[in-house]
Chains A and B, each alone.
Chain A
Amino acid sequence: MNGVLEDMDAIAIANAHIRPALSRALQATGRGVVLAAAAVLSLALLVATTLATAFILLGVGVLLLPLLTPLVRRLTGLCRELAAHSGVAIATPYLPERPSEPGAVGWVQRCRSILTDPASWRDLLFLLLNVFVGFVLGLLPATLLVYAVEGLVLSSGFWMLIRESGVDFWYGFTPMNTWPRAALGALVSLAVFGIWVVAAPGVVAGHAHFAKALLGPGERALIASRMRHLSETRSDVINIQASELRRIERDLHDGAQARLVAIGMKLGAATRQLRTNPDVAETLLVDARNATANALEELRCLIRGIHPPVLAERGLEDAVRAIALESPIDVDITADVPGRLAAPAESAVYFAISELLTNVVKHANADRASIDLRHEDDALRAVVIDNGQGGADASVGTGLRGIERRCATFDGTFVLNSPEGGPTVAILELPCALYSPRTSSF
Chain B
Amino acid sequence: MRVVLAEDLFLLRQGLVQLLESYDFEIVAAVDNGPALLDALVTLSPEVAVVDVRLPPTFTDEGLQAALEARRRCPGLPILVLSQHVEQLYAKELLADASGGIGYLLKDRVLNSDQFVDDIRRVADGGTAMDPQVISQLLAGRSRREPLSMLTPREREVLKLMAEGCSNTAIAQRLIVSQGAVAKYTTSIFGKLDLAPADDSNRRVLAVLAYLNGTRVDVS
Contact = CB atoms under 8 A, between A and B. Distances in A.
Q: Do A and B come from one complex?
A: yes
A133 B90 CA distance: 67
A374 interface: no
A292 B140 contact: no
A442 B69 contact: yes
Contacts of A244: none
Interface stretch (A110-118, A157-165, A303-311): A303-311
B210 to A, nearest CB: 15
A438 B141 contact: no
B197 interface: no
A277 B130 CA distance: 37
A217 B88 CA distance: 52
Contact of A441 (B54, B61, B62): B62
B88 A304 contact: no
A328 B89 contact: no
A234 interface: no
A279 to B, nearest CB: 19
A326 B60 contact: no
Most buried by A among B35, B38, B61, B137: B61
Contacts of B107: 296
Nearest to B70: A442
Contacts of A328: 140-141, 143-144
B89 to A, nearest CB: 5
B196 to A, nearest CB: 25
Contacts of A326: 88, 137, 140-141
Nearest to B144: A328
B87 A310 contact: yes
A171 B194 CA distance: 89
A322 B87 contact: yes
B85 A327 contact: no
A303 B85 contact: yes
A303 B107 CA distance: 15
A89 B9 CA distance: 58
B35 A441 contact: yes
Contacts of A300: 84-85
A409 B34 CA distance: 37
B15 interface: no
Given A328-B144, A438-B58, A438-B60, A313 B84 contact: no
Interface string A180-208: 00000000000000000000000000000
A289 interface: yes
Nearest to A442: B69
A296 B108 contact: yes
A289 to B, nearest CB: 5
Contacts of B140: 326, 328
Nearest to B90: A310
A313 B108 contact: no
Interface in A292-330: 292-293, 296-297, 300, 303-304, 309-310, 312-314, 318, 321-322, 325-328
A318 B62 CA distance: 15
A440 B34 contact: yes
A322 B54 CA distance: 17
Given A328-B140, A441-B34, 9 more contacts: A303-B85, A310-B90, A312-B60, A313-B53, A313-B61, A322-B87, A326-B140, A438-B58, A442-B38
B34 A309 contact: no
Contacts of B181: none
